[in-house]
């Protein structure tokens, strides 16, 4: 009706106007939007058999197209022609993470393909994936099974939503100015959990379950990238063009990108790691003799930014043979040891700053708090530098830090659940302890001293038996005193996944 009235109006104007200005009037008419005859495909497609009855769970993210109408889900035997597809269509909304369970006739090798369809029937390019095999948890080694059980729950309870990212806590809490997604520190912890369980599951029955998340989790974490103030690109605290960027938040993600590059050989992971490295170089100067600031425009240089940067540089050297990375690893480690290690016990202080920020030659103020992760990264850096250079001083450094950390951050404990006395990792901060564990594992692979990793293994067995919520499989952080818990932070759950996954790797390698 509106179109008919518009046409009549234009005819009337044309008949009553002698100045031939009809084109000007017609130009003001904006026609209704035309639906295009093309549409983008779905992304982040994965499929996994979830039971012995051949039910397969399919997950994906719909394209951002307001004219999206339906999603066509098809499946067929892997080697069969496309004409053999069995297909269903479901209603769809744009930019929504979707899950659907389909029944497959038999447990043979099947593939699933998804096609997005818009309001006029235009079809997208098909996205195709294999259906991951169902596995019996009894066939998975102990610690990998624990990691898989926890990570499955963590993905279910925390991941998704508007941004297809990790929520900060479970149950999810939000408010009028916050949508509940975790800051990038928490996002990075979950990403580390995924990175490590992905590695632990390689060549196992659950490998595809986690490799299917590769594109989705990379796409998710990269939403946090920005170029604030025209500076080097990096991961911001939250999603946004002007969110502040911390050097330590970024280096944890950068280390995971190197790990994923080592696992896959995919250049996109190396590109992300190199992006982080360029940002870290922006955070170092000659003030105080070196080191890396905590965040942009900060006046303090921290162990938690400098030591993991040394680790990252060493690992980049191992992957690229670029001598500049080895030079940086040595320099960063040396600065951290000289300025922030307590010579009385080999543990590391938190940070240092100038007495007078306007005088680069003034003395240093050192913040002397000692956290487990701040000793874990120098330990790992020293072990890696020994692996590369065979300089025995690095090995001595790593072993000194390991024993000092064991004396400081572990305590004698009797576990009634295990019926054993052992040194338990104190339950002060799980994420800190996960980073400490990285140092112990790097050293163990060199000197074969299993004392420290054995304590972690017994700690996690105790946690699993005494501090797992049986409704959610989430793990309580206060596992020594056994206090109850009603909210679980993604930062700590991601750390639990990492520890269990690394134990799973050691177990599969015959090192436990």
Q: How far apart are CA 401 and CA 388, in angstroms?
A: 19
Beta-strand relationship, 86-91 and 97-103: unpaired
Same domain, 21 and 60: no
Match 């790691």 to its residue by tokens. 273
Same domain, 67 and 114: yes
> Is 130 part of any domain?
yes
Same domain, 62 and 121: yes
Same domain, 17 and 72: no
> Is 63 part of any domain?
yes
Q: Which of 28-42, 84-98, 393-407 has the highest mean pLDDT?
A: 393-407
> Does residue 340 contact residue 368 with C-beta atoms inside 8 Å?
no
Q: What is the mean pLDDT of residues 110-124?
A: 94
Same domain, 54 and 80: yes
User: What are residue 160's phi and psi, to 5 degrees?
Assistant: 130, -140
Q: How far apart are CA 447 and CA 437, in angstroms?
A: 15
pLDDT tens column, 350-367? 999 999 999 999 999 999
> Is 191 part of any domain?
no
- Residue 512: is its pLDDT beyond 80? yes
Beta-strand relationship, 225-226 and 169-170: unpaired
Same domain, 20 and 80: no
Q: Cα dihedral sign for 292, 272, 95, 34?
A: positive
Neighbours of 270 (CB within 10 A): 19
Q: For residue 82, what are its two tokens? A: 């496309």
Q: Which residues are bridge partners to 364 per DSSP?
A: 354
Same domain, 47 and 118: yes
Please count the structural domains in the chain: 2
Q: How far apart are CA 499 and CA 437, in angstroms?
A: 7
Match 């103020």 to its residue by tokens. 365
Domain boundary among 134, 151, 168: 134
Rg, C-alpha atoms of the chain: 27
- Domain extent, residue 104, equals 43-134
Domain boundary among 108, 134, 160: 134
Same domain, 52 and 118: yes
Neighbours of 240 (CB within 10 A): 12
> Is 74 part of any domain?
yes
Q: For residue 96, what are its two tokens? A: 């929504």
Q: How far apart are CA 26 and CA 210, in angstroms?
A: 57
Task: Provide the total of helices (H) and of strands (E) in the chain, helices listed first.
Answer: 15, 18
Q: For residue 192, what are its two tokens? A: 């580390």
Domain boundary among 134, 155, 177: 134
Q: What is the mean pLDDT of residues 101-126?
A: 90
pTM of the predicted model, to two decimals?
A: 0.82
> Is 260 part of any domain?
no
Q: For residue 33, what are its two tokens? A: 């939007």
Alpha helices in 40-183 (DSSP H): 142-158
Exposed e or buried b for every residue in 102-120, given b needs 16+ CB within 10 A? bebeeeeebbbbbbbbbee
Q: Can you give the CATH number for the domain in which 108 is found?
A: 2.60.40.10
Q: So what's the pLDDT on residue 466?
A: 95
For the chain, give the number of residues. 512
pLDDT tens column, 280-325? 999 999 999 999 999 999 999 999 999 999 999 999 999 999 999 9
Neighbours of 198 (CB within 10 A): 24
- Residue 31: is its pLDDT beyond 70? no
> Is 119 part of any domain?
yes
pLDDT tens column, 377-413? 999 999 999 999 999 999 999 999 999 999 999 999 9
- Residue 23: is its pLDDT beyond 70? no
Q: For residue 278, what are its two tokens? A: 């360029």
Same domain, 80 and 14: no
Same domain, 65 and 127: yes
Q: Read off the pLDDT band of 11 (50, 70, 90).
A: very low
Name the burial class of residue 230, with classes exposed (0-12), middle (13-18) and buried (19+) by CB atoms within 10 angstroms of its CB: exposed
Q: How far apart are CA 318 and CA 361, in angstroms?
A: 36
- Residue 414: is its pLDDT beyond 70? yes
Same domain, 86 and 25: no
Of 186-200, 307-321, 331-345, 471-485, the range with the lowest mean pLDDT is 471-485
Q: What is the mean pLDDT of residues 234-261?
A: 97
- Residue 89: is its pLDDT beyond 70? yes
> Is 217 part of any domain?
no
- Residue 140: is its pLDDT beyond 50? yes
Q: Read off the pLDDT band of 14 (50, 70, 90).
A: very low
pLDDT tens column, 440-463? 999 999 999 999 999 999 999 999
- Could you give the C-alpha distances from 352 to 288, 292, 296, 344, 381, in angstroms and in order? 9, 10, 15, 18, 20
> Is 430 part of any domain?
no
- Residue 483: is its pLDDT beyond 50? yes
Same domain, 54 and 26: no
> Does residue 474 contact residue 153 with C-beta atoms inside 8 Å?
yes
Q: CB pairs under 8 A, 24+ apart, for 486-490?
A: 487/169, 487/170, 487/171, 487/173, 488/169, 488/170, 489/168, 489/169, 489/186, 490/154, 490/158, 490/166, 490/167, 490/168, 490/169, 490/170, 490/182, 490/186, 490/187, 490/189, 490/190
> Does residue 406 contact residue 423 with C-beta atoms inside 8 Å?
yes
The DSSP annotation for 116-153 comes to: EEETT--BPPPEEEEPBPP--GGGS-HHHHHHHHHHHH
Q: Which residues are bridge partners to 406 per DSSP?
A: none
């Amino acid at each position: 009706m509106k179109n008919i009235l518009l046409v009549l109006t234009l005819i009337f104007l044309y008949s009553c106007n002698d100045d031939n200005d009809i084109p000007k009037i017609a130009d003001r008419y904006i026609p209704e939007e035309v639906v295009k005859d093309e549409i983008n495909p779905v992304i982040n497609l994965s499929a996994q058999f979830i039971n012995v009855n051949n039910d397969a769970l399919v997950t994906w993210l719909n394209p951002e197209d307001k004219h999206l109408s339906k999603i066509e889900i098809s499946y067929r035997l892997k080697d069969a022609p496309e004409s053999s597809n069995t297909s269903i269509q479901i209603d769809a909304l744009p930019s929504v993470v979707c899950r659907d369970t389909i029944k497959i006739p038999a447990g043979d090798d099947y593939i699933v393909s998804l096609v997005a369809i818009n309001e006029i029937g235009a079809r997208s390019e098909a996205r195709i994936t294999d259906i991951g095999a169902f596995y019996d948890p009894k066939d998975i080694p102990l610690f990998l099974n624990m990691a898989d059980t926890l990570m499955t729950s963590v993905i279910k309870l925390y991941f998704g939503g508007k941004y297809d990212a990790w929520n900060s806590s479970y149950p999810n809490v939000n408010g009028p100015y916050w949508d509940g997604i975790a800051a990038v520190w928490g996002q990075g912890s979950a990403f580390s959990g995924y990175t490590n369980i992905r590695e632990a599951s390689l060549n196992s029955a659950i490998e595809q379950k986690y490799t299917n998340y590769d594109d989705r989790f990379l796409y998710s974490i990269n939403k946090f990238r920005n170029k604030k103030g025209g500076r080097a690109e990096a991961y911001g605290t939250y999603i946004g063009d002007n969110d502040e960027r911390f050097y330590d938040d970024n280096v944890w993600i950068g280390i995971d990108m190197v790990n994923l590059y080592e696992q896959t050989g995919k250049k996109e992971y190396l590109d992300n790691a190199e992006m982080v490295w360029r940002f870290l170089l922006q955070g170092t100067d000659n003030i105080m003799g070196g080191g890396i600031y905590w965040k942009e425009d900060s006046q303090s240089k921290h162990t938690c930014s400098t030591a993991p940067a040394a680790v990252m540089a060493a690992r980049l050297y191992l992957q690229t043979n670029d001598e500049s990375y080895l030079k940086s690893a040595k320099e960063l480690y040396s600065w951290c040891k000289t300025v922030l290690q307590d010579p009385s016990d080999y543990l590391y202080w938190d940070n240092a700053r100038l007495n007078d920020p306007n005088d680069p030659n003034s003395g240093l103020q050192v913040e002397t708090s000692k956290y487990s992760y701040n000793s874990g990264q120098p330990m790992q850096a020293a072990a890696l530098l020994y692996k590369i250079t065979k300089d025995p001083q690095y090995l001595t450094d790593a072993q000194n830090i390991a024993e000092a950390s064991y004396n400081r951050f572990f305590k004698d404990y009797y576990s009634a659940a295990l019926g054993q006395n052992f040194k338990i990792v104190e339950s002060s901060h799980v994420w800190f302890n996960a980073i400490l564990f990285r140092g112990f594992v790097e050293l163990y692979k060199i000197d074969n001293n299993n004392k420290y990793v054995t304590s972690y293994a017994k700690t996690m067995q105790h946690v699993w038996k005494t501090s797992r919520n049986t409704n959610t499989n989430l793990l309580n952080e206060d596992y020594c005193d056994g206090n109850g818990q009603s909210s679980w932070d993604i930062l700590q759950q991601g750390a639990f996944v990492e520890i269990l996954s690394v134990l799973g790797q050691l177990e599969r390698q015959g090192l436990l």
